[in-house]
Amino acid sequence: MPQPAPTACLALADGTLFYGHGFGATGQTVAELCFNTAMTGYQEIMTDPSYAGQVVTFTFPHVGNVGVNPEDDEANDPVAAGMVVKWDPTEPSSWRAAGPLKAWLERRGRIGIGGVDTRRLTRAIRRQGAPHVALAHNPEGKFDIAALVAAARGFRGLEGLDLAREVTCAQSYRWDETRWAWPEGFGQHTAPGHKVVAVDYGAKRNILRCLASAGCDVVVLPATATTEEVLAHDPEGLFLSNGPGDPAATGEYAVPMIREVLDTTGLPVFGICLGHQMLALALGASTIKMNHGHHGANHPVKDLETGKVEITSMNHGFTVDSQTLPQGVIETHVSLFDGSNCGIRMAARPVFSVQYHPEASPGPQDSYYLFKRFTAAMQARRQAA
């Protein structure tokens, strides 16, 4: 049967073109291209602030089949620049759906392209690394290919780019919503708990829910929070959130604060994703850009101290260089895909972090112990006072 004319085009910086069917918003965007292997959670992925500056290729073909709903947002709006899928999104067939994906993307100003050979595209990303791309959607099917390729080549990339400032909260706020549970839905933390300051480099809502569910009274501060602003809340623990961009760039203002807290207090510290990288930089290690990063909900990670293997969710394009960890900092977790660092801790203090996302529950509860470890450290410090 005759195929409809393409209404979207994905142009790679090397001149490779992928045509497909556009959906969502019209227009053009430039970004880094990555792929995600998760079989569920496309809405959570699109609203994860860690995907700022990236177009996401979904390797799982059934995208849009469960629609969208407000409960699955990890931020107020989609943060990923766009999405690439094999099959055009279908109408939702889930009792939880509050609307279709296409309309949601259009309303939120994000571009999608369907009908793409995502296997071929994923292989290209793995071979050459995360490429720079321009994604355009024009219902009339008219594209200036030379301009699209030039736009992709002109994208500066994520190295040296501080995106945490763009996705962080504008002002501090308190968080008391707990994890979703059947049949009540989200709950509320009301009992007195451990005071935790969470620094928002692009925090996912479910991380904050997990902290509240673990018994924490959480106040969230912007990424640029100073030591004085953190300690003004008299916290019992410091949490460093996930986020996008180059950790070295964000570290220019985040690392001094973390070092001062470490040097002047005995607070337990827990970091996830970019927060893990911020802590590593503060302790004297370095970070490096990965070829294509880790993005998915099926990544095996080994706990080197217990020998257990956790199935984890990951989303990062930079990693801590384990060869640069200083004396007194122990590597605790590694990826079983490529051996890259996935966790550290200080030998003599309750300060630790992981590269993966324990709140995403792909195991589904393999990694929730980390939140309990954090609260146990705060409880031990309280009892020793």
Catalytic residues: 273, 357, 359
Helix axes 369-384, 205-213, angle to 10 degrees: 50
Task: For 285, list phi and psi in degrees, rounded to 5.
Answer: -90, 180
Q: Which pair of tokens denotes residue 239? A: 């949490």
Nearest to 76 by CA among 108, 106, 123, 124: 108
The 3-class SS string of 208-257 reads: HHHHHHCCEEEEEEECCCCHHHHHCCCCCEEEECCCCCCHHHHHHHHHHH
With a CB cutoff of 8 Å and minimum separation 6, the contacts of 214 are 371, 372, 374, 375
Asked whether 66 and 126 are in contact (CB, 8 A), the reply is: no
- Residue 233 Cα distances to 37, 70, 172, 369, angstroms: 40, 31, 11, 26
User: Three-class SS of residue 262?
Assistant: helix
